[in-house]
Structure 1
């Protein structure tokens, strides 16, 4: 994908609904921005490598939970991969970002892969935004136990540790179910009083995640919509957030007074994440039929904001709060 200088293209960046989901190849020249939106940030991956001004890496096979004073292996999901920043796991070629899960041993793990994010490891922002249209054009690996994802986390944990401050999954897929993707919100109080809600999308007409598709969310105050190839398939207007905790563990709220003000936690800047995980509780382990390397290709990432700004938050939609019996 060759488009010349990124700055020369900003007024011509594309509409998900107008971009063809070409099978196995990058997109053609982009069409104008979606009606009612203007570009604020993006990466066309037209350079010779991953741009360090836009992306940093998570590395390893877990994280330290300071509240519990313990190491959480497998990223809390029993994942099997060790994330690196090596070119074998993450590189740019022919205008496409390639994230590869490889079957190899490293630091006690049987697989390596990569997880890119628009936030530095020291916590400072490379890019984050509150509200907008967040759009990825990607083709995904298939095979049992392969878990590609495009998602978002809060720049700062304003309401407390995950997921009291929220998580927006633009798209995640189980490699053994190549005709489906999921769009999900994680919210509630910190573990174990957390919750999530989401919707599954099934591709029509024999389509699969192995083809290029455009995955997007349109996030506005009090409402989040999910789209595939420019067509909405889900919307959520109900969620909740509580900072109530005891001994480092989240507690269910006892009443409205324990809730953070609506539309928390989805009222703060979020940053972007792209990764391919292997195994875990979400989808199970690979088996002998799973082909490695398993590669996700990302043609572009584009973020927009709404022309004219945003209306006041819509009221919380219908749903069951944890203290309502």
Structure 2
């Protein structure tokens, strides 16, 4: 038995890192209807969300967020001239974690003007308003760049408002036809970004300074589709694409 274990380890068939993760929170989306209110809340409104976005986020509206066929379906819809509805689901105060592996298996929407994201924000904002308390973008996609997805972190020192954000673009075709697993492994000294268990980016704690590393506090998960905005709308919005959906097969959170 010992020799078998050594052989498996040397062959790479035994992943020690993965074996140490233990599931602590999940949603497999097996119950049809509205998303589980014990696990999901909503951000609501249409004030641009700091990015001049065009959509109005609704609450508990199955036109924009519904569990169907074993998946969570988030839908962005055109409702009138220059008007759109969508959903932004959050786990704040229902699922909040400090460190862990957060993974989401998802199929993305497509089309010019669409801007879906799988990301995390601080629950307690211990170091102040954005970006001082941090942001973790597990996956962002803008429809006018259909073969790429992006991972980023934002802090007081590193953020897009001053052009210093830490980010990585990854070539990934067929994101609207195929599911991919978007994940982070967030530890005390690093955040490793993975797609389909392949490491695509890593951000390490350079020093013990919240301006650089505010990631020692609780964060929660957000799932949303934005329309237009400073980034998603750089090439305009193609109204012929709507409705557009992001399909989430599962969300799983594990910790050591």
- TM-score of the aligned structures, taking structure 2 as reference length: 0.85
Secondary structure at the aligned position of 1:188 is classed as: coil
How far did 1:109 drift? 5.8
Aligned residues: 236
* Cα distance in 1 between the residues matched to 2:211 and 2:153: 17
How far did 1:260 drift? 3.3
1:39 lines up with 2:23 in the alignment: yes
2:9 maps to none
1:133-172 aligned at under 5 Å gives the runs 133-172=101-140
Name stretches of at least 5 consecutive residues in structure 2 with no aligned partner.
1-12
Match of 1:286 among 237, 243, 246: 237
1:59 lines up with 2:44 in the alignment: yes
The Cα RMSD (Å) is 2.4
1:97 lines up with 2:72 in the alignment: yes
Q: Is the 8 A contact 1:39 1:305 kept in 2?
A: yes
Q: Is the 8 A contact 1:134 1:217 kept in 2?
A: yes
1:175 maps to 143
Secondary structure at the aligned position of 2:230 is classed as: coil
Match of 2:200 among 224, 227, 233: 233
1:14-33 aligned at under 5 Å gives the runs none
Match of 2:62 among 87, 90, 93: 87
Secondary structure at the aligned position of 2:49 is classed as: helix
How far did 1:287 drift? 2.3
How far did 1:278 drift? 0.2
* Cα distance in 1 between the residues matched to 2:245 and 2:211: 41
* Cα distance in 1 between the residues matched to 2:211 and 2:49: 29
1:309 maps to none
Does the C-alpha gap of structure 1 residues 193 and 161 become closer, same or farther in structure 2, counting only changes over 3 Å?
farther
Does the C-alpha gap of structure 1 residues 92 and 132 become closer, same or farther in structure 2, counting only changes over 3 Å?
same
Name stretches of at least 5 consecutive residues in structure 1 with no aligned partner.
1-17, 19-32, 63-73, 120-124, 242-258, 307-325
1:110 lines up with 2:83 in the alignment: yes
1:273 maps to 222
How far did 1:261 drift? 8.0
Question: Which whole-Å deviations, capped at 9, do the CAs of 1:100-136 have from their partners, x for residues lacking one?
Answer: 000004xx961000000002xxxxx111000110000
2:6 maps to none
Does the C-alpha gap of structure 1 residues 114 and 40 become closer, same or farther in structure 2, counting only changes over 3 Å?
same
Q: Is the 8 A contact 1:57 1:116 kept in 2?
A: yes
Does the C-alpha gap of structure 1 residues 261 and 80 become closer, same or farther in structure 2, counting only changes over 3 Å?
closer
* Cα distance in 1 between the residues matched to 2:18 and 2:110: 30
* Cα distance in 1 between the residues matched to 2:65 and 2:216: 31
Q: Is the 8 A contact 1:186 1:194 kept in 2?
A: no
1:202 lines up with 2:171 in the alignment: yes
